[in-house]
Amino acid sequence: MMHDKGLSTNIGWQNRDAYGNSLSSRQREKMQRLRTWDERFRTRDSKERNLKQALGEIERMGSALGLPKNVRETASVIYRRALAEDLLPGRSIEGVATACVYAAARQANVPRTLDDVASVSRVDSMEFKRTYRYVVRELKLEVAPPDPENYIAQFASDLDVSDELEERAHDLLRHAKEAGIHSGKSPVGLAGAALYAAGLLVNERLTQGAVSDVTKVSEVTIRNRYQELLDHEQTRNGQPGQALAN
């Protein structure tokens, strides 16, 4: 996570000697010159400066998203690979750094949505998504499709729902995955729909608007997906479809 891997000199900024005494004006000037030259040597070429800026961005976004250290380290490794394989020309440092953060979170199964990552990035979401697809393709990263269950805890906390509702949402998604009806659908949309459907089942109703606000998924998507989940659940239990929805 350090552009020089922590092997460089570090000249303190306090302007005090080993005994804690203040340096003379002549010594302070000398130390300032040494700091300047040290900084120049640490970032002696464009790649070093690029890496220093990118790793700073990864650390900033990782902190804002609450990502664990292993995810930030993985993002840093992915960025180093992108830089080594010359994937940066024509793309912004911030865009590639954002793509690396999202890819690392996906690889570690840490639930962060595209919108979550875009909200802390300094590039627009279209550039971020385009760069992410490019980096994954060119580096041949193994990124499994996100599991909708990974998002349930985060959304349930934001919606302040009961443990019973949260557990029922997990059940709905597990049954949907067993039947394969989750394939090709947005995992975030399915997670939101499962919470809404679970609210109906345990008589703890949520509004579609509230779920939409938390998940950043349209109410239309939630309506479509929750009905599919309920229909499957009722069919699985030997009940006619759409009974609860009506």
Domain map (residue ranges) of the chain: 46-139, 148-236
> What's the confidence (pLDDT) of residue 27?
85
Spatial contact of 219 and 208, defined as CB atoms under 8 Å apart:
yes
**Pairwise pLDDT comparison (146 vs 202), residue with the higher score:** 202
**Pairwise pLDDT comparison (116 vs 8), residue with the higher score:** 116
Question: Could you please report the per-residue DSSP string of 117-166?
Answer: HHHH-SS-HHHHHHHHHHHHHHHT---PPPPGGGGHHHHHHHHT--HHHH
> What's the confidence (pLDDT) of residue 19?
77
CATH superfamily of 46-139: Cyclin-like (1.10.472.10)
CA dist 149 and 61 (Å) reads 24
CA dist 84 and 215 (Å) reads 36
> What's the confidence (pLDDT) of residue 232?
85
**SS3 for 180-212, per residue?**
CCCCCCCHHHHHHHHHHHHHHHCCCCCCHHHHH
> What's the confidence (pLDDT) of residue 155?
93
Average pLDDT, integer, range 201-218: 92
Q: Is the pLDDT of residue 240 over 60?
A: no
> What's the confidence (pLDDT) of residue 132?
95
CA dist 17 and 36 (Å) reads 19
Question: Which residue has tokens 């934001």?
Answer: 158
> What mean pLDDT, rounded, does the chain reach?
86
CA dist 101 and 117 (Å) reads 8
Nearest to 92 by CA among 65, 61, 53: 53
CA dist 191 and 211 (Å) reads 10
18: amino acid identity, one letter: A
**CATH architecture for the domain at 148-236:** Orthogonal Bundle (1.10)
CA dist 95 and 99 (Å) reads 6
> What's the confidence (pLDDT) of residue 246?
40
Q: Which residues contact 164 (CB under 8 A, 6 or more apart)?
A: 202, 204
Share of residues in the chain with pLDDT > 70 (%)? 88
Same fold, 46-139 and 148-236: yes
CA dist 51 and 97 (Å) reads 10
> What's the confidence (pLDDT) of residue 7?
53
**Residue 243 banded pLDDT, cuts 50, 70, 90:** very low
> What's the confidence (pLDDT) of residue 244?
47
**Pairwise pLDDT comparison (158 vs 38), residue with the higher score:** 158
Q: What is the pLDDT of residues 71-110, one digit of tens each?
A: 999 999 999 999 999 999 989 999 999 999 999 999 998 8
Query: Which range has the top average pLDDT, 16-25, 30-39, 204-213?
Result: 204-213
Q: Which residues contact 232 (CB under 8 A, 6 or more apart)?
A: 175, 176, 179, 181
